[in-house]
Amino acid sequence: MSIESIVKDIEDKYTDLGEKPETYLKGLLNAKPINYWDYLEIDTLLTLQKPRTDFKDEEIFIMYHQVTELTLKMMIHEIKQLIYDPFNETVWIDKINRLNRYTNMLITSFEIMKSGMNYEDYNTFRSTLTPASGFQSAQFRLIELYCTRIGNLINENGKKRIGENPSTEEYFEHIYWKDAGLNRATGKKTLTLCQFEERYMHRFIALTNKVKGKTLEDIILKNATYSDALRDKLKEFDHLYNVAWPLVHIQTAQHYLDSKSENKAATGGSEWKKYLNPESQQRKFFPTLWTKEEITNWGKE
């Protein structure tokens, strides 16, 4: 492509926008060349770790969770494209493959948590994190809401409590993750849950209403002619996110909280053994893709 044709395309682009091309060309002439550190905001990124103690491995703990949140953001970026763009199976297979790679990265990265921190140091500095908890990851919840109908996020006990034709707000009163911070008998909530709801509940409700009928599950249910290849990729994602990842999480938690039969509490005060266990929660994004036998054995591996 010649310089002349590039300049012509630039002129046409800004003329079509009702702008003066020469203004933009003059700006480009005076702009500084971009570099790696400015483009990625490296200096800012590397100052985002604020340990609360002098234990060296606390900084590892912080960076690990920041990497996790960035990975979740990449996943949401992919999922949004599937939800808001017209259905195209080729694109879906590509995007679900990406989601599977990201989730596998989350799974394998747990070795950093399990084997990359000093046991005694972690069990000391973790007390300064209360009531903060990984439970408070909003992006984890957003992925659930983008992927599946909210009714699939109600566990068996919740289904017994909830009435017919519940509103979005009623669904959230019985959503599975609320059990981690709410004593259903007394109605008392942990500070961890109170903080989380105050910060994010309005956003969760708004998103649920916005994607009603448009979640990944809804789109698949409306496109009955999708291929076996796509079905297998969706099932792989469902299993990786809702079984394999929680299982390595619970194994890591057991390493630090229960490996010496100490049965330590989670920083957020949740019943972590029950909350993290996929066999107990039975959370599935695409329940219609699984056989009865597969559902019966969910989370048992």
Sign of the CA dihedral with 217 first, then 99, 281, and 205 last: negative
Q: What is the mean pLDDT of residues 224-252?
A: 93
Across the chain, what does the average pLDDT equal?
91
CATH number at residue 257: 1.20.58
Pair 89, 226: CB distance under 8 Å: yes
Beta-carbon count within 10 A of 53 CB: 15
pLDDT at position 260: 60
Whether 112 maps to a domain, the answer reads yes
Evaluate whether residue 45 is within a structural domain.
no
Mean pLDDT of 59-83: 97
| Average pLDDT rounded to a whole number, residues 35-64 | 96
Rounded mean pLDDT of 154-172? 93
The pLDDT score that the predictor gives to residue 212 is 97
For residue 112, pLDDT beyond 60: yes
Predicted local confidence at residue 253, as pLDDT? 76
Is residue 292 in some structural domain? yes
Return the pLDDT at 269.
56
The answer, yes or no, to whether residue 188 has pLDDT greater than 90, is yes
pLDDT band at 261 (very low <50, low <70, confident <90, very high): low
Number of domains observed in the structure of the chain: 1
Residue 178 has pLDDT above 70, yes or no: yes
Average pLDDT rounded to a whole number, residues 147-163: 94
What percent of the chain has a predicted confidence (pLDDT) above 70?
94
Cα of 13 vs its chain's centroid, Å: 38
Question: Would you say residue 233 lies in a domain?
Answer: yes
Residue 74 has pLDDT above 70, yes or no: yes
Q: Is the pLDDT of residue 229 over 90?
A: yes
Gap between the Cα atoms of 276 and 249, Å rounded:
7
Rounded to whole angstroms, how far apart are CA atoms 30 and 99? Answer: 40
User: Is 266 a domain residue?
Assistant: yes
DSSP 32: P
Residue 66 is which amino acid?
Answer: Q
Backbone angles phi, psi at 189, to 5 degrees: -110, 150
Contact 219, 83 (CB under 8 A): yes
The pLDDT of residue 272: 59
**Which range among 75-79, 105-109, 159-163, 276-280 shows the weakest confidence by mean pLDDT?**
276-280
Measured between alpha carbons, how far apart are the two ends of the chain, in Å? 56
What is the mean predicted confidence (pLDDT) over 86-114? 95
What the block records as the tokens of 187 is 């109605």
Question: What is residue 289's DSSP assignment?
Answer: G
- On whether residue 285 sits in a domain, the answer given is yes
pLDDT at 268: 53
Residue 270 has pLDDT above 60, yes or no: no
Q: Tell me, what's the pLDDT at 18? A: 95
Query: 4-8, 122-126, 209-213, 265-269: which range is least confident on average?
Result: 265-269
Question: Is the pLDDT score of 271 beyond 70?
Answer: no
pLDDT at 202 over 90: yes
Virtual CA dihedral for 275, 276, 277, 282, nearest 10 degrees? Answer: 70
Q: For position 143, what pLDDT does the model report?
A: 98
User: CA of 158: how far to CAs of 152, 241, 281, in Å?
Assistant: 11, 21, 11
Phi, psi dihedral angles at 300 (to 5 degrees): -90, -10
Name the pLDDT band for 274 (thresholds 50, 70, 90): low
Q: What is the mean pLDDT of residues 252-281?
A: 67
Q: Worst-scoring range by mean pLDDT, 68-72, 96-100, 122-126, 297-301?
A: 297-301
**Contact assessment for residue 161 and residue 249, using Cβ atoms and an 8 Å cutoff:** no
Nearest CA among 147, 75, 129 for reference residue 105: 75
| Tokens 């939800």, residue located | 83
Average pLDDT rounded to a whole number, residues 115-133: 90
Percentage of residues in the chain with pLDDT exceeding 90?
72
Give a yes or no: residue 62 inside a domain. yes
How many other CB atoms are found less than 10 A from the CB of residue 216?
25
pLDDT of residue 266 exceeding 60, the answer is: no
Residue 98 lies in a domain: yes
> Where do the H-state alpha helices sit in the chain?
3-16, 21-30, 36-39, 42-45, 57-84, 89-108, 110-115, 119-125, 138-147, 156-161, 168-173, 191-210, 216-222, 228-239, 245-257, 272-275, 278-281, 292-296
Domain that holds residue 265: 54-125+138-296
Query: Is the sign of the CA dihedral 82, 290, 236, 174 positive or negative?
Result: positive
In the numeric block, which tokens belong to residue 219?
A: 């789109």
Q: How much is the pLDDT for 62?
A: 96
